[in-house]
Structure 1
Amino acid sequence: MDKIFVQGMEFYGYHGAFPEENKLGQRFFADVTLEMDTREAGENDDLNKTVNYAEVYEAAKEVLEGEPVKLVETLTARLANILLERFQIIDACVVKVTKPDPPIPGHYDSVAVEIRREQKGG
């Protein structure tokens, strides 16, 4: 299966289990891998036969800058669901959401959740 990578997308959201996170906000990063057949797009140089990267970014922005949630798991699942719904051409996606500098005592670089989801019936 072919793969398209959209990596290093950065957003500012108000997600977290602590009230301070919901009030102050913080950065979140998203990396997306889309699994699909890109043969026809590549052979015909046709954007209509693939996924527009700008639209992937907009979907990620909608989720990560959208309605606050408590869990990174929720953000990750929401983004995967939206990608599968909006881009029927993809067979599956891998979504990773990273929360740098989580409010955890001690020195932690980041926390992240990565999931893989497939189209229903696929």
Structure 2
Amino acid sequence: MGIIKVNNIKLYAFHGCLEEEAKIGSWYRVDVEVKANLQQSAKTDDLADTVDYVHLNHIVKEEMATRSKLLEEVAQRILDRFFKELIMIKKATVSVSKINPPIGGNVEEVVIILTKKR
């Protein structure tokens, strides 16, 4: 078993319950960790034998572009696509952070973390 991480994917998106968030948007950070058997790819040096982190990033970007009220829903959509499209994944964790959330205070970020296993 091995771990592949894609950290600090920065995106501008329009998630949130407030109408202003739908109009003006804000910055987000997504971190991804997937567990898979990486022994074969370590031997073959072949992309077909591993989880392609370019594909992971592509899924994150597409799902972040679809507006949701809650970050939980966005993180769940990302996880669901990981498991649908990348059969090698055994376990995945997705962290979605809203930078400078509009919650009436000096808050750097809010973070939602979801994990799914096959």
1:2 Cα deviation from its structure 2 partner: 1.1
Q: Is the 8 A contact 2:36 2:51 kept in 1?
A: no
How big is the alpha-carbon RMSD for the aligned residues of Structure 1 and Structure 2? 0.8
Query: Structure 2: any 5+ residue segments left out of the alignment?
Result: none
Within 5 A, what are the aligned runs for 1:66-77? Answer: 66=66, 68-77=67-76
Aligned to 1:60: 60
Distance in structure 2 (CA, Å) of the matches to 1:13 and 1:83: 20
1:106 equivalent in structure 2: 105
Return the offset for 1:109: 0.6
Number of aligned residues: 118
Matched, 1:2 2:2: yes
Q: Distance in 2 between matches of 1:4 and 1:53?
A: 8
Counterparts of 1:1-122 in structure 2 under 5 Å?
1-66=1-66, 68-119=67-118
Give distance in 2, aligned partners of 1:78 and 1:29. 16
Q: Separation in 1 of the partners of 2:85 and 2:26?
A: 27
Residue identity matched to 1:54:
V
TM-score by length of 2: 0.96
User: What do the CA deviations read for 1:56-77 (whole angstroms, capped 9, x no partner)?
Assistant: 11100001112x1100111111
Residue 27 of structure 1: how far off its partner (Å): 1.1
Give ranges in structure 1 of 5+ residues lacking alignment: none
Runs of 4+ in 1 over 6 A off after TM superposition: none
Q: Distance in 2 between matches of 1:33 and 1:90?
A: 10
Over the matched positions of the two proteins, sequence identity in percent amounts to 28
CA distance in structure 1 between the aligned counterparts of 2:59 and 2:99, rounded to whole angstroms? 21
TM-score normalized with structure 1 length: 0.93
